[in-house]
Structure 1
Amino acid sequence: MVLFGSNQDQQKCNHASYLFNEMSKFQKVGILCDVKVPGQLHVVKAHKIVLMSANPKSDTSGCKGAENQTAICDFPVEEVLKAYAPNNTAEDPPGPEAVVDSLGQRLGALNDLRLHHCCCDVTLVANEMQCDVHKVVLAACSDYFRAMFTSKMKESMDNRVVLHNVDSFYVRTIIDFMYTGEITLDFNGACDLLEIAVFYQILPLINRCQTYLISNLSAQNCCYLTMMAHDLALDDFLSHCRSYAFEHFLELDHDDSEVDLLLADDLVACLSRNDLGNGISNTSTEQTVLRVVLRWLRRKCDDVEIPEQDRILSQVRFSLIAKQDIDICCRALAMDVDNNNNNNNGDDFFASFGPAFKKHYERAVTYHNRVFEQPLLHDRSDLRTDQYHRACVDGVLAPNPVKLPSYSKNVFVGVQDVNPDSEGNVPIRDPYHNVVDFNGFLYLLGSTRTRDSCYSRTVTRYDPRLDSTIAIASMGEERGDFVACVLNDYIYVIGGRNRHGALASCERYDPRQNSWEKIADLPQGIYMAAGLAHDGCIYVTGGFNDYETTGTTLRYHVTDDTWEEIFAPMMCDRGFHALVKGHDGLLWAVGGVDNPFSGRNVWEVEAFDPDLEMWRFVGQVLPVQPFLSMMRINVFLERDNRTCVFPVSTPHKYPMLEHVPRSRMWFEMRSRVVVSQVQVD
């Protein structure tokens, strides 16, 4: 055992200040006062032990017993209040009888009166132990004794109080603490004393025990202390214990943690957090989460109702764990149970974790078996992080931010140029592929610059949850420089070009069937147009046909599979541009060139109003350091309504630009938005 506290003297002084302050409150209203000090105008009631501790030289003869209401004549009435304020400074000098200024000395003088049985007016009895004490000290430290001695309870008239079901060792320890402010604590003693202190409402001891236990929280005891805080209704203590358990949740994956002592509500509150594992979101983190939950279930499943088990298991993100790893976790913990029951069969692990587990296990197996449908089975399958990333695949930006794993072999922070090939050559062409995000999954449509083919039918999906890629069904025909977007749980691919020229064909991908189907063709073949999904329709603007630049505005109606050409041509014919939904809800066309063959940059920005079916001029991209080319740019809308632009190729050579709505001007961004490069090939 060690003496708690690095500053014992400060703790002792704080306790003395609290004690004398409480007794001062009693003196002001005449509670438990046992002496009268006559003054010139009135008589002041006081506590004999307070005055005697302030003036050790006073006559203490005949002071034993509370019934002696004799005035201490040699103690001036003006010094009474100072006796209850022992922390006077030199600016407030003591009276004719020197008052001891040191809080520690005053507390020691008070304890000496107890040890010499001087003025003791009550005896505490616990088992065979008897201890003479002062009612005013007990009442100052304990609301329990305050109510006992200041009400009309039987004990208020007796000079003997029997304490039941309390060990005499702890009674003496508590009395010593009340009179000295000093206590020696270890973990088990602090827990026992905290329960006693809560029962007898001894606030100073409650605070001292809580402080000790909070400073000694660990993965081995935080669950026990959380349960204890619940039982004792100590809200602040509970908050500290729960916070520690939440922050160190992954450390509870061992038998000594007693995780089953956590209440279901505490477990759910922890599992619902996105910062488990200090924000390191990966499959290893979720495997640990699953093991902790299984440890809880195998001990509590017989005591917890099925809906409660279901509520807990719903917080486990099984999609972040590969199916084989789920089986390994379950069988390993089920074997522990079987070994304890002298049964070495761990195959039927459902019985070990309660009836609700089977449903969630089968749902997880279904999710992992139906690989291509996973974006539609998006039920609490996000990575455990609150941070979203702008993600590029070979320079092409996904339309929306996505969650990415903290440590990944496929994710690199910062936009990068395409890697050189084996001979050190860097491809100079712009990418022909496109990228969409579908419920947190990234789909690479077409071929990146690391491959030989410019036009391609291939489609690859990247799963940030498992940090893995798979090939899905190929498009109906190879293409490049096409529009791609997601609408109503389908991926749409529109137009583009191949070796034979511009394409009018369009198709969509159904993840339920892992197949592509043709939809209505465009009015003409178009490549390097820009498009997006908005309000249940798909809008496609500009682009090039085989001969010239177009400024058409097309709208695709999903319900009847038709294309509508809106009689509202763009103000500037353009291709190689980007279309983004602006802060005003309009569809902004940014960048591009006015001719497919060495065309001029289009610096004008215009916005289309789908309701009014008309374009309007927004401004020009005129930054401090303008791009050399506005061909093939990435555009996105930040959360603070800034429209941001950076080039697809050689992004590190040019600044990232932003449009500030308040000033309606474009500026070079002082701090670039972090964009992560995802390697999907």
Structure 2
Amino acid sequence: MADKQESLTMATKSSIETPSELRPSSGGDRNQKMENLGLVIDINKQTGVLRRPDHAMEILQNLNDLRQSSEFTDIVICVEQDMYPCHRAVLAASCLYFKAMFKNDLRERHQDHVTLTSMKSNIVKLLIDYSYTSTLTVTVDNAQDLLSAAQFLQYEPVVQACCEFLKTQIHPSNCLGIQFFADTHNCLDLVEEARTCALINLVDVVKQEEFFDLSVEQLISYVSNDELNVKSEEMVYVAVMQWVRHDVDNRWSKLPVILEHVRLPLISPGFLMNHIENDPLVEHDKDCRNLVERAKTIQKQVWQGHDVRDPSLRPRPSMMTEVMVVVGGIDSVRHWQRDITFYNPIEKKWDSLPDIPFSQTDYSVTSLDDNIYVTGGYLNDDAVADVWCFEPTSNFWMCVTPMQNARFNHGSTSTNACIYVVGGENDEGDLRTLRAITPLMINGIVLVQFILLRVT
């Protein structure tokens, strides 16, 4: 009887035990499955929201599979000798060109074939593939063709991608070509990047064949640009003459117009007389000779100390070097000096600037925006409030608005576009005030003017 009871008990247990694969999943497993499915259940509201982030990509992949097998396609894009079956909806959703074509009452709307001309088949295929895959590879070989086709078909993301890629490929050997291309397609950022490269690397750019393809207007736009990176104005003149002699019969007549933008007064007198004035192309053109004579006259006036304010005297920033300047001071026998010397760290040598045009002593010196400012001083037993400025770019001294209080033995510094003078003495004793000077308050009286020219 006991054996029979035990058998019955075991049978009962066996009949109520469910195989593990048939048991309901635990709460953790169920949550994981719902999470993978993208299902969010709200128990209180008794709702479930299915949201699958990868659904759009799956649809795109399925559409691409259908295109590859020509299933449900309703338009064929014909380019050169190739035909690409596509879905109108996909093309219209990808670019404005096809959307306008299929939406408006154009003949292509009712045709099952559309022919694209002036485009390469492999480039159009890349754009169609991009429409179905959102992926496109830009290379050195296809970037420009891709940009042209994408701009025509209005694939704006592709245009931007090509521009950014081409920016990374800009080099002195191709910057002019990329600039012309970008300008044609109105890609302004790319134009600016390529143009900057050409301005910075003039020495290398003039060696390229593309340099000789510049128009007169394009050449002038470079020659007249302040940011042209040259060590001397002679380099600009040499580049211009190379461009002219490349097609001298057709370009010689343009030389006077171009030379107007070369800053001839900044060229050394020796080079001006020995190389430019005696150049046959200059010598046999009246307008060119006049430009040379005008440059020589300006140089002469400057050396004579006249007030010459001519734009052609403005050096390009690349022609200027940051130097250390020493203004005046006291010599070994306690005499105040009026000379100005500077140290050029590139050439590693000292040189001189014109002497200061005033006689006071015990002044203070500071700099602001590459200009030298001398404030105050002591003259004829009196403190003075004079402020003098020397502009290296235009090479002249001028007297600017004086300080509110005369002072000497003071300190000065500059920051935030202002000059600050601190302490010092005046006729009444020590000063403890701090004053600011704004260099914009210029009275316009130019007393002395200088220019430094190299002599070859």
Q: How does 1:45-444 map to 2 (within 5 A)?
A: 101=54, 106-246=59-199, 248-256=200-208, 258-260=210-212, 270-277=222-229, 284-298=231-245, 312-325=258-271, 347-350=279-282, 357-368=288-299, 372-373=303-304, 376-379=307-310, 380-385=312-317, 405-406=320-321, 412-413=324-325, 427-431=332-336, 433=338
Q: Is the 8 A contact 1:635 1:645 kept in 2?
A: no
Cα distance per residue 1:635-656 (max 9 Å; x no partner): 8999526346889xxxxxxxxx
What amino acid maps onto 1:286 in structure 2?
Answer: E
Query: Cα offset for 1:148?
Result: 1.0
Q: Which residue of 2 aligns with 1:579?
A: 385
Whole-angstrom CA distance in 2 between matches of 1:143 and 1:222? 31
Q: Do the aligned residues in 1 keep the contact of 2:40 with 2:49 (CA within 8 Å)?
A: no
Residues 256 and 287, structure 2, Cα contact 8 Å, conserved in 1: yes
State the shift of 1:327 in Å: 7.2
List per-residue Cα deviations over 1:152-198 (Å, max 9, x = no partner).
Answer: 00001101011223232323233223323334443342112222222
- Answer whether contact 1:636 1:645 (CA < 8 A) is retained: no
Summarize the Cα distance change of 1:187–1:374 in structure 2 as closer, same or farther, 3 Å threshold: farther
Taking a change above 3 Å as real, the CA distance of residues 108 and 542 of structure 1, as seen in their structure-2 partners, is closer
1:640 pairs with 2:418: yes
**C-alpha contact (below 8 Å) 2:422/2:433 kept by paired residues:** yes
Post-superposition shift, 1:149?
0.8
Q: Contact 1:226–1:242 (CA<8 Å) still a contact in 2?
A: yes
Contact 2:124 2:149 (C-alpha < 8 Å) held by counterparts: no
Cα distance in 2 for partners of 1:330, 1:191 equals: 41
Counterparts of 2:127 and 2:332 in 1: how far apart (Å)? 80
1:660 aligns with 2:435: yes
- Rounded Cα–Cα distance in structure 2 between residues aligned with 1:363 and 1:231: 38
* Partner SS for 1:642: strand
**What are the equivalent positions in structure 2 for 1:420-569 lying under 5 Å apart?**
427-431=332-336, 433=338, 484=357, 544=380
Amino acid at match of 2:385: L
| AA partner of residue 188 (structure 2) | D
- SS of the aligned residue for 2:282 comes to coil
- Tell me: CA distance 1:372–1:236, structure 2 relative to 1, closer, same or farther (3 Å): closer
Per-residue CA distance 1:33-57 (angstroms, 9 max, x = gap): xxxxxxxxxxxxxxxxxxxxxxxxx
Amino acid at match of 1:579: A
User: What's the % identity of the aligned pairs?
Assistant: 21
Letter in 2 for 1:360: L
| Compared CA separation, residues 413 and 274, structure 1 to 2 (3 A) | farther
Tell me which protein shows more helix as a share of its residues. 2
Structure 1 gaps, min length 5: 1-87, 278-282, 332-345, 387-403, 419-425, 436-441, 443-466, 473-482, 486-495, 497-526, 531-540, 545-573, 593-629, 648-656, 663-677
Q: Are the counterparts in 2 of residues 227 and 262 from structure 1 also a CA contact under 8 Å?
A: no
Q: Structure 1 residues 112 and 261 mapped into 2: Cα distance closer, same or farther (>3 Å)?
A: farther
Tell me if structure 1 keeps the 8 A contact 2:336–2:361: no
Q: What are the superposed Cα offsets for residues 244-263 of structure 1, whole Å, 9 maximum, x if unpaired? A: 334x2434443216235556
Residues 259 and 292 in structure 1, CA contact (< 8 A), matched pair in contact too: no
Deviations 1:364-417 (A, max 9, x none): 34445666247544422122239xxxxxxxxxxxxxxxxx9416xxx5346686
CA distance in 2 between partners of 1:372 and 1:203 (Å): 58
Confirm or deny: 8 A CA contact 1:219 1:257 kept in the other structure: no
2:286 and 2:69 mapped to 1: Cα distance? 66
Letter in 2 for 1:372: W
Q: State the AA in 1 paired with 2:71.
A: C
C-alpha deviation, 1:227, in angstroms = 1.5
Aligned partners of 1:377, 1:206: CA distance in 2, in Å? 50
Q: CA deviation at 1:215?
A: 1.3
Question: Is contact 1:148-1:155 (8 Å) kept?
Answer: yes
CA contact under 8 A between 1:643 and 1:659: conserved in structure 2?
A: yes
Name the structure 2 match of 1:47. Answer: none
